[in-house]
Chain A
Amino acid sequence: MVDIAFGPERGKRPDTANIQDSYLDMVRRKRMYGGILLVIFIALMSSGWILADDRNAGGFWNGLHQVFDFPSEVLSEAWEKRASLPAIFIEHIPALIETLNIAAVATLLGALAAMSLSLLATRGLARWPRLIPLFRRTMDGLRAIPEIVIALVLIYILGGGPVPAVIAIALHTGGALGKLFSEVAENADLKPVEGLASVGANWSQRMWLGVIPQVAPNWLSYALLRFEINVRASAILGFVGEGGIGHDLKLAMQWGQGRYDQVVAIFLLLFFAIVVIDRISDHYRNKLVKGAAL
């Protein structure tokens, strides 16, 4: 019997005469490699942290005891003014809705773009098989550009407001979802597509009636997950750029002491919005993937 695990060269085979020695030898070698890797990893980590600490404005150990200073300062001021919190909640709800709208519109537009991009980039389904690499690279490119880059450039051109954020998030979503959608579509059963082709359906009919019903649950589940991510992204973009609750948060933070009740109110609004959306989307994603009716 040829031992294929050790290749054709005779020299590399373990000596069957003293199998215990060769086994221990192998274990030792494996441990050595593992040890070397571990040492390299620890060296990289520690030198990385030391370097990052050096280049930071405040040191780690000096900052450590201050971590809770800011939250406690904020919370104590907010506690004193707790009576005004409900009014502030209501005041900021339009901004929260704007943030959610940005995320929802961007997810919708991104998902629509991802649907067509992914079908065009999937082997076996593509309208123009020769152009598959083009569509794949397009998705890679869209995925690679961070939202903030597009958003800041578009703010310069389009002025402030939610539209730059929507476009930025939608472009990124199109790329990210496109990749996931295409992975799902690759596993779709081709028999319905062939059946539709045999009765003379054109490409869009084959996709709409043959592929989309198969992949819809998984696609919806990915789109919901993306919506969660986009809510966070839209809050962050508001903080860096303009629009939505992130912008309100930035204004309140810049004001500093005296407006900490607003900071806390916005934190809480954002926190509850994210938790609620996470919960709802988790629930529906579980249902979708397990195949139960909505």
Chain B
Amino acid sequence: MTMTALSPSLAETVVRGFDRKRRFAIGVPLAILAYLLYAAVSFDLAGLVGRARLDNAAILLGDFWSHKTHVSRDNRSGKVVVAIEGESKGTYPDGMLPDWVTMAGAVTTIDLGTGHVVTYDDAGARFVVPGYGTIDIRPEGGKPVLTAPEPIPGWISVAENKVSVTTAAGRFSYTRSKVETFRYQPGWELWFFTLDSPFYGKSVGELAALATMGDRIDPDRSNLGYMASEFWTNKMWRHGDVAWAIFETILMAFLGTTAAALVALPLGFLAARNFMPLGPLRFAARRLFDFIRGVDGLIWTIILSRAFGPGPMTGAIAIAITDTGSFGKMFSEALENIDSKQVEGVGSTGANALQKARFGVIPQITPVLVSQVLYYLESNTRSATVIGAIVGGGIGLLLTQAIITQKDWEEVAYYMVLIVLMVMLMDSLSGWLRRKLIKGS
């Protein structure tokens, strides 16, 4: 190396190169920032702050880990109903009450814990809040009238026809027609057995004892079988239906992916340059793949659900069609990259075209094929959830239904957990199979 290599022109080039790099290093983040600012304006981020419903978020988060029990009295008939989540499926039958509610004649006492006690009686209702005093409500002329220590704090809201009190122990509301108390407790109640089941409220030990050596509750079947069927047909959580929905979703993904692979393999031969000497046919096959991929799963799903109606088969066919495009493209690329020597070798033993493909080509592309199919199987489990929401099948449907009703958030949480577990399971299953099939054999 001589000094002449460092001519002024080279130095200039290097300096200019550095300058360009420096401008690039500042320019790219600035461009990203400018774009994000534009997006923030066009998405109306400022307006979003006003529209956000943080109370909804609180309800959602609360339902994720707790449940609420409604104790409500119809002020006209005087009938008191205790129901979990206020649903008829979770209503305590006559003669059965949670231990924090007592009824004596027309007087109902609700112990919300930490000294908070609500009493319903003929005169109206009272709520004793420790550290504050007694909130007394009686109807006068059909309207609730409030008597409470002055000044009235912010957590008691008084309107003309409604008084509501929110405390950490629970919520209370009094209207002309009914008075309600809501108590929040951790856990998903009735997850195992509903209130009408003979197994409700028993501890694990008691259940184990019943299952193994207790007398039969139902003489026709064993206690264990009875328990399993009570759990499976749980009206509140519908474990049986949910399990079916999960199975349907996986079924959609499995059928769709395998069908797509089976259809795409022969089509891939048509689109590969080294197997299809006829240019126009090859061109047609390639444009077919492009068309299928371009139309997109959403549109295929819509068209197919018009023809086949809602259900898992529609979803499976939609996945199959969408993935035929992607698989066809990938398989034809893999076929173009194979080593032709093996095919020639097989051909030299007198094999016909089909045998050459089977013994010369397939073994070479099997690793690519298997790993792509397994990868798509995993990703399609996720897509099948979305497609299920559109075509009406599987866990996607249950999830959207639960979200649309906007009250069963504990069920939404349950489905979300199940979906995540399902996808993770499929992820590890496909990873395990990929390792076994490609590296193991």
Q: Which of B73-81, B233-241, B415-423 contacts A (4 or more CB under 8 A)?
A: B415-423
Q: For the complex, is A157 an interface residue (Cβ under 8 Å from B)?
A: yes
For B56, the chain A residues whose CB sits under 8 A away are: 156-157
**Residue of A with least CB distance to B315:** A52
Contact status A162-B389, CB under 8 Å: no
In the complex where A56-B311, A104-B35 touch, is A149 in contact with B297 (Cβ < 8 A)? Answer: no
Which residues from 36 to 70 on chain A have a C-beta closer than 8 Å to any C-beta of chain B?
41, 44-45, 48-49, 51-53, 55-60, 63-64, 66-67, 69-70
**Residue of A with least CB distance to B312:** A52
Q: For the complex, is A26 an interface residue (Cβ under 8 Å from B)?
A: no
- Per-residue A-contact encoding for B307-344, CB less than 8 Å = 1, 0 else: 11111111010000000000000000000000000000
Which residues from 124 to 183 on chain A have a C-beta closer than 8 Å to any C-beta of chain B?
140-141, 143-149, 152-153, 156-159, 161-163, 166
Q: For the complex, is A275 an interface residue (Cβ under 8 Å from B)?
A: yes
Contact status A274-B296, CB under 8 Å: yes
In the complex where A55-B313, A67-B307 touch, is A48 in contact with B60 (Cβ < 8 A)? Answer: no
Contact status A69-B307, CB under 8 Å: yes
A108 to B44, CA, bound (A): 18
Contact status A51-B48, CB under 8 Å: no
Report A20 CB to chain B, min CB distance, Å.
Answer: 17
For A49, the chain B residues whose CB sits under 8 A away are: 255, 313, 316
Contact status A60-B296, CB under 8 Å: no
In the complex where A55-B248, A63-B308, A144-B420 touch, is A161 in contact with B385 (Cβ < 8 A)? Answer: no
For A267, the chain B residues whose CB sits under 8 A away are: 295, 299
Contact status A274-B45, CB under 8 Å: no
Contact status A145-B416, CB under 8 Å: yes
In the complex where A108-B32, A235-B298 touch, is A145 in contact with B420 (Cβ < 8 A)? Answer: yes
In the complex where A52-B316, A66-B307, A161-B43 touch, is A239 in contact with B298 (Cβ < 8 A)? Answer: yes
Q: For the complex, is B306 an interface residue (Cβ under 8 Å from A)?
A: yes
Report A189 CB to chain B, min CB distance, Å.
Answer: 19
For B45, the chain A residues whose CB sits under 8 A away are: 163
In the complex where A45-B255, A104-B35 touch, is A67 in contact with B303 (Cβ < 8 A)? Answer: yes
Report A100 CB to chain B, min CB distance, Å.
Answer: 11
Q: For the complex, is B406 an interface residue (Cβ under 8 Å from A)?
A: yes
**Residue of B with least CB distance to A58:** B309
For A105, the chain B residues whose CB sits under 8 A away are: 35-36, 39, 43
Q: For the complex, is A210 an interface residue (Cβ under 8 Å from B)?
A: no
Q: Which of B252, B302, B306, B316 gathers most chain A CB within 10 Å?
A: B306
In the complex where A145-B419, A240-B400 touch, is A70 in contact with B307 (Cβ < 8 A)? Answer: yes
Select B308's contact among A56, A71, A101, A152, beta carbons within 8 Å: A56
Q: For the complex, is B386 an interface residue (Cβ under 8 Å from A)?
A: yes
Contact status A146-B314, CB under 8 Å: no
Residue contacts A-B, CB under 8 angstroms, 11 given: A48-B254, A49-B316, A52-B248, A56-B393, A63-B308, A146-B382, A158-B48, A161-B44, A232-B297, A271-B294, A271-B299
Interface residues of B (CB under 8 A from A): 32, 35-36, 39, 42-45, 48, 51-54, 56-57, 60, 248, 251-252, 254-255, 258-259, 290, 293-299, 302-304, 306-314, 316, 382, 385-386, 389-390, 392-393, 396, 399-400, 403, 406, 412, 416, 419-420, 423-424, 427
- Kindly list the 4 A-B residue pairs having the minimum CB-CB distance in the complex, ordered from nearest: A56-B311, A57-B309, A58-B309, A63-B308
